[in-house]
Structure 1
Amino acid sequence: RIDELSEELERQKQIVKDLERQRSTVQSQLNALVDPMARLPLEISSDIFRQCLSSRHDVRTCSTLLRVCHAWNAIALATSSLWNVIVSSDVP
């Protein structure tokens, strides 16, 4: 009887894992529908970020882009031109 229960428990655990994977997939799809930035191609999103920063390249502004959401974080990190400026406040 214990072996049967153990086997059933393992089956149920696998069902839970499968359901969690399905939920994650559906949640990602829903997020993509709700977030207009997620629907844009990376090149366009990157260009929007570059345009926002073109007038004032500020490390704080770049880091703000990283903290908005996971999608914006991924876009900002994938846009290397946002990170090719070195700012130093120790200039004599």
Structure 2
Amino acid sequence: MPSVEDELRARIVELDTEIRRQRDSEVLKDLECDRSLVRRQLNARIDPVARLPVEISSEIFIQSLPPFPQPGAIHIPMLLLNICNTWRDIALSTPSFW
């Protein structure tokens, strides 16, 4: 039969393992956040649309509007808000688009 001391030592080992696992999980979360940020930066660099100046993108967005909106048609400004964060920011910062 294990002594109380043996049980306490075993519990310490269990707790040490759990502490290491928790630390590893925090490190993993940090690494995943860093990877996500770097991936977004890479995508922005290789995406030709993202390299356009904001003014040109804004003008393209404005030119995409139909001259006479039709009832029931997809509302283009709302559609562009859902493409990506860059397009969303451009659309929201272009007052004449709305």
Deviations 1:30-74 (A, max 9, x none): 211232221223222112212333x62647222222233332222
TM value normalised by structure 1: 0.69
Mapped to 2, the partners of 1:33 and 1:79 lie a distance apart of 23
Mapped to 2, the partners of 1:41 and 1:16 lie a distance apart of 36
Structure 1 residue runs of 5 or longer lacking an equivalent are: 84-92
Structure 2 residue runs of 5 or longer lacking an equivalent are: 1-12
Taking only the aligned residue pairs, the percentage that are identical comes to: 44
Question: C-alpha displacement at 1:24, in angstroms?
Answer: 0.6
Equivalent residue number for residue 86 of structure 2: 71
RMSD (Å), alpha carbons: 2.2
Moved over 6 A (4+): none
Mapped to 2, the partners of 1:7 and 1:29 lie a distance apart of 33
Number of corresponding residues:
82
Whose Rg is larger? 2
